[in-house]
């Protein structure tokens, strides 16, 4: 009886230890990741205020995410990040293009969305099992779950972390860590999932 109890305890401790070590696929990850995928794929519109914290300081802004409700082939989501402080900057992800607009200078820079793992949110079908995605860590603590990932072909673009409240599941925060280990944290507030976002919010045009 004693040996049985000892072996049972050892098994529990060993499994618990390896669940922590194997951070790419912890014992709870499969079910949790499936639930998060479903949650994200069911978002049609998301508008929110945000606070961004980094070494450069704290700034506020507006965040918009619109995803195709029908999941039609070839359709992608759209994202807009609008900084309210000076200098006023607007970032829009629309299709395969990320546009960076300096409002004061009236200058637009355009990049491929491959340069940022944050474009993960605008995919027509969000899947942590996608061939170009590597989940680096799943953490569950203090009533929240966070999922960190990188793009396999662009690991130098940084690590992107999605953070959710639990019970009920709710998207509340994002973190981006670049190759210099610098971390930018974006915390969402006043989240609105119901209001439709006009398509014009995802179009940037220079005044020139």
Give the Cα separation of 112 and 83 in Å (integer). 21
How high is the pLDDT of residue 143? 93
With a cut of 80, say whether residue 115 has pLDDT above it.
no
Mean pLDDT estimate for the chain? 81
How high is the pLDDT of residue 178? 80
How high is the pLDDT of residue 34? 94
Average pLDDT over residues 88-95: 87
pLDDT by residue (tens digit) across 185-206?
999 999 999 999 998 999 987 5
How high is the pLDDT of residue 185? 93
pLDDT by residue (tens digit) across 117-134?
667 898 888 999 999 888
- Percent of the chain, pLDDT > 70? 79
pLDDT by residue (tens digit) across 40-87?
999 999 999 999 998 888 999 999 999 865 444 555 789 999 999 888
Give the Cα separation of 208 and 203 in Å (integer). 15
Local confidence band at 11 (pLDDT 50, 70, 90 cut-offs)? very low
How high is the pLDDT of residue 42? 94
Q: Name the 3-class secondary structure at 155.
A: helix
Measuring CA to CA, which residue among 53, 46, 111, 121 is closest to residue 85?
53
How high is the pLDDT of residue 47? 97
Length of the chain: 208
Domains assigned to the chain: 25-190 (2.50.20.10)
How high is the pLDDT of residue 164? 97
With a cut of 50, say whether residue 183 has pLDDT above it.
yes
How high is the pLDDT of residue 75? 59
Strand ranges inside 95-177, DSSP E: 97-102, 107-112, 133-141, 144-151, 159-165, 170-177
Give the Cα separation of 164 and 201 in Å (integer). 25
> Could you tell me which residue, 113 or 89, shows the higher pLDDT?
89
Local confidence band at 151 (pLDDT 50, 70, 90 cut-offs)? confident
- Percent of the chain, pLDDT > 90? 42
How high is the pLDDT of residue 208? 52
């Amino acid at each position: 009886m004693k040996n049985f109890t000892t072996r049972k305890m050892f098994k529990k401790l060993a499994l618990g230890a390896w669940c922590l070590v194997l951070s790419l696929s912890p014992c709870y990850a499969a079910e949790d990741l499936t639930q998060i995928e479903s949650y994200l794929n069911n978002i049609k519109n998301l508008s929110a205020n945000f606070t961004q914290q980094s070494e450069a300081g704290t700034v506020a802004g507006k965040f918009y995410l619109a995803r195709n409700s029908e999941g039609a082939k070839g359709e992608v989501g759209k994202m807009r990040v609008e900084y309210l402080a000076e200098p006023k900057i607007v970032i829009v992800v629309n299709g395969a293009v990320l546009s960076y607009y300096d409002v004061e200078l009236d200058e637009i820079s355009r990049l491929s969305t491959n340069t940022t793992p944050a474009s993960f949110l605008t995919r027509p079908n969000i899947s942590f099992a996608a061939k170009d995605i590597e989940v680096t860590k799943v953490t569950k603590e203090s009533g929240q779950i966070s999922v960190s990932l990188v793009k396999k072909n662009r690991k130098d673009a940084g690590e992107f972390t999605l953070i959710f409240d639990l019970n009920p599941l709710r998207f509340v925060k994002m973190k981006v860590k670049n190759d210099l280990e610098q971390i930018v944290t974006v915390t969402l507030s006043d989240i609105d999932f119901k209001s439709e976002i006009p398509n014009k919010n995802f179009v940037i045009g220079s005044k020139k």
